[in-house]
Structure 1
Amino acid sequence: MVNFNGRQYFIGKSINQGYLGQVFKGEDEWGSELSELAAKVIEPQNQTYEDV
């Protein structure tokens, strides 16, 4: 689970990977309902995560 700007996001399994990063299946909580989403984690190219 990830909390961001007061919202909760549930990150699931990886569904794809490309040159720039990985895509994960997930859900977010809007009110009392869960909505499906895809979340992409971008991998920094030739930099550390701290530098990005």
Structure 2
Amino acid sequence: MWPDKNTIAMLYGWGAVVAPTTMEWYTENGFITEFDYKEITGKDYAAPAKE
């Protein structure tokens, strides 16, 4: 699946992908795991509240 974890991490490092919006979308849609989210951002992933 593209973008992969390495591409997302690179874009995050450049500031082209931001938390909490884009990074959460990548996590929610299976591009990266919750563990990957923490590894890339240094923050715990908080799943959105279900309605």
**TM-score between the two structures when normalised by the length of structure 2:** 0.18
**TM-score between the two structures when normalised by the length of structure 1:** 0.18
- When you count strand as a share of all residues, which structure comes out higher? 1
- When you count helix as a share of all residues, which structure comes out higher? 2
